[in-house]
Amino acid sequence: ISACVGEIHVLNRLLNLPSFNLMTFYSSLPFANGILFFLRSTAYTISTRFISFHGRCLSKFAPVVTKMTEMKVREGSAEVKLPDSVFYNPVQEFNRDITIAVIRNFLKLHLCEFIDKGMKIAASKNASPEPTTYVGISILEALAASGLRSVRFANEIPFVCKITANDVDPEATKLISENAQRNHVSALVQPTCSDAVSLMLNSTSYADRFNVVDIDPYGTASPFLDSAVQCLYDGGLLCVTSTDMAVLCGATPGTAYGKYGGVAIKMTAQHEQGLRLLLYAIQQAASRHGKVIEPLLSLSIDFYARVFVRVRSSPRGVKHVAAKMALVYSCTGCHAFHLQRLGSALESGKAFSSARGPPVGPMCPECGSPFAVAGPLWADNLHNVPFLHELISTLRKLKPATKTKFTTEALEMVDFSSGRLPEFQIPEWLQLAPNLRTSLPEGTFGTLNRLIGMLTVASEELEDCPFYMQVDQLASVIRTSPPKMTELRSAFLNAGYRVSFSHAATASLKTDAPPSFIWDVMCAWKRRVEVAKATAASEPSDSARPSPQKTAEEEEAKTITLEDSGTDDEMRTKRPDVDGRAVVEQKAAKRKSQGKKHPPSEAALRVEATLMERPHNPRVDFTPHPNANPSSRVEGLLRYQLNPLPNWGPKARARSVKKPILTALKEPGNLTATKQPRNHS
């Protein structure tokens, strides 16, 4: 009993619970005098021992007392103050830049659709359009942290009527308010302190919905998808980031199924697999509410996936969603893959039928290895190509950011009040709400070069060819040097197939050619290399003059990660900084193997032998094709950025700065545990 009394006293102080009179409580019990005497003599000793013991335990788990430090961050047109306790990752500047660019382009679509709706209503009445006020778009940043993104939204996106910047941390919410005041956007940015899911579920009524919802969590976005699709207006834009790329790329298939509803495996196109699995999860969340998604842009960037989708109400479209989903059979030996659609939509678009399958047998027809099965996942288009082309065209007209311009007043402004929007003029009958900002600063994208380069590569991708092959992996299967990308692409183009790169991997190959022809090309390449080796070996050696054949062979055997993955001659000696500008690249450290290489396994040798037994295909022709080099590479765009800084990747979670329990106890007014001299009498 005395131990309980001592612990209750201390716990009341530790947890700031309302106290009650324990002595009065015990005095009402039978044998009260004996109990009270025992308590008075032992309670203090047990209480102090409790504090000493539990204090030592709690101090191991309590946060360390550190001095609160702050830093100022200047990005785009915003300048914000960030303490250590609030999450900020400078690597995500590209994420914020591309989000602003996409929302600007989405704004054009939203305004065009608003004008078209007014014109259709007027046409149905055989009258001129009535004067109408355009109120702008509303944006929700559900996980705002410092509010930097919301401040940039307010400064750099026109026609915005409201920005809700939400965070569950009260300190972060207070910081959002301060940063909004610092940048003079308090009228637009409205901080809220709430759980993101609860806030979105409470915003499902028509008057409370948003035109744009941005979800950028630490880790997976799956807990937020169901509520996010509900709080969007019809045709609204959903921007989603997921940083758990290890899960999306197949490191833990069971975890991927639990979070996203599909199995992810380790395959040659694992980053595109992650994008398609995320899109599948978004569509599944939308389908439960009678909605469908339209991907505008889907990118695998650095260590995260970023997708931009429009969400529309379409109960009929939900019935056809299964035709856009598929299972993937990936060969464990030669990396060939086959898709099994979950359904098919008839040409009329009004009926849906079940799929026919399976597409292959239990063993790979190319090498005889078993398949690994992934999915279901999104198998339709990753991008809206017209939207992407318009976005690239807009970005090419912008000026790159300069580090000397950060305040809105110092930046060149573009005025939209006169209707100076691309492709159309704002009609006279359409009035803009007086609270809408009609100008925005130009030259605010610090990663403009990378934006243009990556988006151009994405626009060149084959729309109807899910997944890609990695050329270095194909070459390793048959133990040969990878070919130059121009020669490899020429072989497919000369045979009448289409081919493209993928933005998700440097040495990538997207094509509509079947796996059989892909391996015909690779085997023909190995035979060509072996002939060159044999010719070089048969010629008399001359130590003073290197063999021309050997020189050509060495050139062909060079790795393609620099020359053939999309970088030009200049970028081989330079690499881009975070802001897109190139800096001199330091010489990479030499990689020396720490021992002999492991010999290939029996299964790998069997796969190689099976592939090399195939006869020569006369359609394989490595003659250079005029379209073998894509325009993005010819222009020398920054297509695949190397890691420009140390510690490149996701940061740790933000930590709240709190005082440890023992420090709080020793403050004035709190219970103090002081060691008393022991009484030996």
- Co-location of 24 and 137 in the same domain: no
Retrieve residue 142's tokens: 């559900």
Give the CA dihedral 649, 653, 658, 663, nearest 10 degrees: -70
- Co-location of 31 and 131 in the same domain: no
Half-sphere exposure of 311 (CA within 13 A, CB side): 33
pLDDT score at 545: 53
The pLDDT of residue 18 is above 90: no
Which pLDDT tens digit goes with each residue over 434-447? 888 877 776 678 89
Nearest partner of 331 among 143, 519, 130, 62, judged by Cα = 519
Name 651's Cβ contacts closer than 8 Å, sequence gap at least 6: 87, 88, 89
- Co-location of 34 and 124 in the same domain: no
- Co-location of 106 and 228 in the same domain: yes
The pLDDT of residue 421 is above 80: no
**18, part of any domain:** yes
Q: With contact defined as beta carbons under 8 Å apart, do 394 and 422 qualify?
A: yes
- Co-location of 157 and 227 in the same domain: yes
Which pLDDT tens digit goes with each residue over 82-95? 876 666 777 889 99
pLDDT score at 591: 44
- Co-location of 60 and 133 in the same domain: no
Which pLDDT tens digit goes with each residue over 135-185? 999 999 999 988 999 999 999 999 999 999 999 999 999 999 999 999 999
**40, part of any domain:** yes
- Co-location of 404 and 527 in the same domain: no
- Co-location of 52 and 75 in the same domain: no
Retrieve residue 54's tokens: 């539990």
The pLDDT of residue 501 is above 80: yes
| 527: enclosing H helix or E strand | helix 515-538
Kindly provide the b/e burial profile for residues 143-161, where b requires at least 16 CB atoms within 10 angstroms of the residue's own CB: bbbbbbbbbbbbbbbbbbb
- Co-location of 35 and 160 in the same domain: no
What does the DSSP 8-state code read for residue 206? G
pLDDT score at 422: 45
Which pLDDT tens digit goes with each residue over 322-367? 999 999 999 999 999 999 999 987 665 567 788 888 999 999 999 9
The total domain count for the chain is: 3
Q: In 10 A of CB 55, how many CB atoms?
A: 18
**390, part of any domain:** yes
- Of the two residues 540 and 133, the one the predictor is more confident about is 133
- Co-location of 37 and 120 in the same domain: no
> Distance (Å, rounded) from C-alpha 402 to C-alpha 597?
49
pLDDT score at 124: 86
CATH number at residue 168: 3.40.50.150
Q: Provide the mean pLDDT of the chain.
A: 79
> Distance (Å, rounded) from C-alpha 498 to C-alpha 25?
86
pLDDT score at 443: 63
Complete DSSP assignment for 38-105: HHHHHHHHHHHHHHHHHHHHHHHHSPP-----EEEEEETTEEEEEETTS---GGGHHHHHHHHHHHHH
The pLDDT of residue 279 is above 60: yes
What does DSSP say about strands 337-341 and 325-331: parallel, antiparallel, or unpaired? antiparallel
Kindly provide the b/e burial profile for residues 565-575, where b requires at least 16 CB atoms within 10 angstroms of the residue's own CB: bbbeeebeeeb
Domain that holds residue 6: 2-65+659-665
Which pLDDT tens digit goes with each residue over 306-319? 999 999 999 999 99
pLDDT score at 584: 34
pLDDT score at 538: 82
Name 588's Cβ contacts closer than 8 Å, sequence gap at least 6: none
Nearest partner of 560 among 499, 659, 482, judged by Cα = 482
- Co-location of 55 and 153 in the same domain: no
Half-sphere exposure of 362 (CA within 13 A, CB side): 0
- Co-location of 241 and 145 in the same domain: yes
**443, part of any domain:** no
User: Which stretches does DSSP call E strand in 273-420?
Assistant: 291-301, 304-313, 325-331, 337-341, 343-345, 352-354, 371-378, 413-415
**363, part of any domain:** no
**100, part of any domain:** yes
Half-sphere exposure of 452 (CA within 13 A, CB side): 22
pLDDT score at 649: 62
Report the number of secondary-structure helices (H) and strands (E) in the chain.
22, 23
**19, part of any domain:** yes
Name 8's Cβ contacts closer than 8 Å, sequence gap at least 6: 22
**630, part of any domain:** yes
Length of the chain counted residue by residue? 681
Name 531's Cβ contacts closer than 8 Å, sequence gap at least 6: none
Complete DSSP assignment for 392-436: HHHHHTSPPP-TT--SGGGSPEEE-TT--BTTB---TTEEE-TT-
User: Which range (36-45, 501-510, 599-608, 642-651) has the least confidence?
Assistant: 36-45
The pLDDT of residue 574 is above 80: no
- Of the two residues 42 and 613, the one the predictor is more confident about is 613
Burial classification of residue 461, based on how many CB atoms lie within 10 Å of its CB (0-12 exposed, 13-18 middle, 19 or more buried)? buried
Q: With contact defined as beta carbons under 8 Å apart, do 268 and 122 qualify?
A: no
Which pLDDT tens digit goes with each residue over 463-499? 999 999 999 999 999 999 999 999 999 999 999 999 9
pLDDT score at 539: 75
